[in-house]
Amino acid sequence: MDNRYPKPLSQTGFDEPPRIRPYLITSGRTKTATEPPPVETIISTVSEQAVGGLRFERRLIAQICLEPISVAELASQLDLPLHVVNLLVVDLITDGVLEAMDPTDHDIEFIELLISGIEAL
């Protein structure tokens, strides 16, 4: 085999391909343009059509967020550092692909109904 080319994964002893460095995913950025959402913020994709023109991690995030999910859960599912996910989420919110639900905006009636249901048990 020619040494000018990398060995196939099966010959390197690794089961998985090498991970991409976070700074490549964020284009070297370490700060968001706006304040990142709190980790408990629920985010969701605005529409399925919004996923179409995206690539790589941004597309994967938009696909996962077709079902509402918290920022912390998203980072866990992607197996990426939280600050990297925050950068991508802020970009996608700014681009109108994702929407964030205010974690402090609670439906008081629903919470009261939930409490009474638990008390009835």
* pLDDT, tens digit (0-9, with 9 covering 90-100), for 2-50: 455 544 445 545 555 556 677 677 777 777 778 888 888 999 999 888 7
* Count of the separate structural domains present in the chain: 1
Residue 69 structural domain: 35-103
Question: 15 lies in a domain?
Answer: no
Question: 99 lies in a domain?
Answer: yes
Distance (Å, rounded) from C-alpha 32 to C-alpha 93? 11
Question: 56 lies in a domain?
Answer: yes
Distance (Å, rounded) from C-alpha 89 to C-alpha 20? 18
Do 73 and 43 contact (CB within 8 A), yes or no?
no
Tallying the residues shown for the chain, one arrives at 121
Question: 5 lies in a domain?
Answer: no
Which two tokens mark 43?
Answer: 């985010």
Question: 18 lies in a domain?
Answer: no
Distance (Å, rounded) from C-alpha 9 to C-alpha 82? 28
Q: With a threshold of 0.85, does the pTM exceed it?
A: no
Question: 51 lies in a domain?
Answer: yes
CATH number for the domain including 67? 1.10.10
Question: 21 lies in a domain?
Answer: no
Question: 60 lies in a domain?
Answer: yes
* pLDDT, tens digit (0-9, with 9 covering 90-100), for 57-100: 889 999 999 999 999 999 999 888 898 999 999 999 999 999 99
